Amino acid sequence: MRLDRFISHHTRLGKKRSRALIENCEVRVNKHIVRDPLLRVDRFDTITCGSETLQEHQAHYLMMHKPAGILSATKDPEFKTAIDLIDTPYAHELHIAGRLDRASTGLLLLTNDGRWSKQLTEPEQNVAKVYEVGLRDPIEERYHEIFANGIYLAYEDHTTQPVTFTQLNERRVEVTLHEGRYHQIKRMFHAVGNQVTSLHRTRIGKIELGDLSTGAFQTIEADAIF
């Protein structure tokens, strides 16, 4: 929203009077005097007019080590959710930015900033997601070529982007994805006749799970992921 429209809406002054307040240095955005009535502002900008605060709403960004059995959801009538593990006054504002299924573990991101979470999925951002994957059967050499060529997913009528993986042992690999199709890793290994027995996300972009304890969370900076 334009700053002049924001001031007009929140003070019930007309556009002309709102612009006069801005041009007379009576309006601050994030503690800085602003004289441009056309400045774009959003819900996370702190905006004051004279001595009155018109908006003060903080953006929150968190990382969590999701345990197995916890839903990547804001609420559920049956199962405990990731939000239930967050003991903060603003927990009810948060949503999940990049889900894990109930059985999977590892890095989960949460925020109240919808633009930020949407940005994580935009192809031009090319955000890498790294997983440690346990498999029922031993790795076969043919998997490398099949994954590198992409695997056709009939439900979406989509062929996956080239995927590389590093073999950790006979039945364990590290997989890096740059897209996030529904149960993509499980479906890719199913396509080659294998079954995923465990899935643990260790990194999203530049954010690594590290030694964060299972079930714990901590705040992060918005730009830390890119």
Catalytic residues: 101
Question: What span, in angstroms and rounded, lies between the C-alpha atoms of 58 and 37?
Answer: 23
Of 29, 26, 20, whose CA–CA distance to 1 is shortest? 29
Q: Are 129 and 121 in contact (CB under 8 A)?
A: no
Vertex 197 angle, CA 191 and 202, to 5°: 100
Q: Cβ-count burial of 170 within 10 angstroms (0-12 exposed, 13-18 middle, 19+ buried)?
A: exposed
192-195: list long-range contacts, CB under 8 Å, 24+ apart: 192/140, 192/142, 192/143, 192/146, 192/151, 193/137, 194/135, 194/136, 194/137, 194/143, 195/135, 195/136, 195/137
Question: What span, in angstroms and rounded, lies between the C-alpha atoms of 44 and 47?
Answer: 9
Of 113, 136, 109, 84, whose CA–CA distance to 205 is shortest? 109
Q: Which two tokens stand for residue 87?
A: 């003991």
Query: CB under 8 Å to 35, separation ≥6 — which residues?
Result: 22, 23, 25
